[in-house]
Amino acid sequence: MKKIITGFILLLCYTVNLTAQETQKPNFSTDRPGQCFSSSTVPKGHLLLETGIGVDLFNGLNSWNLTATDLRYGVAKNFELRSGVRAFAQKRAGVDDLDFTGALTAGLKWQIVGKKIELAYLAEAAIPIYPNIVNAYHLLQLSHPVGDKISFSYMLMHNVDFGVINYPGYGGAAQFSYLAAFTLMPKWSFYLELSAFWDSSDPFEYGILYDAGMTYMVKDNLQLDFFFGHGINYKHGTYGLGICWMPPKKQS
């Protein structure tokens, strides 16, 4: 009987220690891929690098996303600062030359609610190298799980183009996105997403886009992703690859 009790105590201590080690692993939740963002923030003291390449095919315009790189840093619990760089190459139909553009981004994310239902607020500004027009957006991101394998996300975004902000009646652009994510295998996740766009500078124009993709966890702190999407009521194709990496935090 004493051997059974001793064995039970040792097993209990081992289980508690293992659970404590697991809870010490930082939350790895990325903003790639898809239109929706993550409703989680980077843990305090951790840095998360997200980068990728892609291509957007419009009617008469091809745009290559040479880099979309973001650095996210957790400065406090449920609060992160973020900065990034964008580089594009565009080619219009009938034109031989490529147009190169780029932008620097900076912003923040605050997880307002971090329980089973997660709610986050994000604000970011992009300062293009050319043309010299600032764009800014802010959004609310809501996410919640359904069981252990499925989760749903909802995003409501408001975007402002300061190049046309003085136009009569201009109030910015709006976007709503709905995403369903599925974890079917230990390292593989899949998602399906539907987005609607509307710009007040042309109130009769709106776009509906669907996209889908997958992520693969190489390690606990390293993720690969792939996505594709197409416009439903307009000609638009989007495809991309990406990688996300959270360097281990040095122990003091």
Query: What does the DSSP assignment read for 81-143?
Result: EEEEEEEEEEEETT--SPEEEEEEEEEEEEEEEESSSEEEEEEEEEEESSS---EEEEEEEEE
**Residue 251: per-residue pLDDT:** 63
Per DSSP (E only), the strands in the chain are 47-58, 61-76, 79-92, 99-114, 118-128, 135-146, 150-161, 173-183, 188-199, 206-219, 222-231, 236-245
**Residue 59: per-residue pLDDT:** 76
Mean pLDDT of 139-149: 95
Beta bridge partners of 43: none
> Is residue 202 in some structural domain?
yes
Mean pLDDT of 107-131: 92
Strand 118-128 relative to strand 99-114, pairing = antiparallel
> Is residue 2 in some structural domain?
no
> Is residue 220 in some structural domain?
yes
- Structural domain including 63 reads 28-245
C-alpha dist (Å) from residue 81 to 1, 71, 124: 56, 8, 10
> Is residue 41 in some structural domain?
yes
Beta bridge partners of 182: 150, 190
> Is residue 1 in some structural domain?
no
C-alpha dist (Å) from residue 228 to 49, 73, 141, 151, 175: 21, 28, 22, 20, 19
57: domain CATH number? Answer: 2.40.160.40
- Cβ proximity of 136 and 160 under 8 Å: yes
User: Which conformational region is residue 148 in: left (phi greater than 0), alpha (psi within -120 to 50 degrees), or beta?
Assistant: alpha
Judged against a pLDDT cut of 50, whether residue 8 lies above it is answered with no
> Is residue 11 in some structural domain?
no
Q: Three-state SS for 69?
A: strand
**Residue 198: per-residue pLDDT:** 94
Nearest CA among 160, 157, 218 for reference residue 189: 218
> Is residue 7 in some structural domain?
no
Mean pLDDT of the chain: 86
> Is residue 22 in some structural domain?
no
**Residue 42: per-residue pLDDT:** 96
Mean pLDDT of 116-131: 89
If one counts the domains in the chain, the total is 1
Q: How confident is the model at residue 132 (pLDDT cuts 50, 70, 90)?
A: low
Cα separation, 247 vs 242, in Å, equals: 17
Q: How confident is the model at residue 222 (pLDDT cuts 50, 70, 90)?
A: very high
- Cβ proximity of 177 and 209 under 8 Å: no
Cα separation, 239 vs 213, in Å, equals: 9
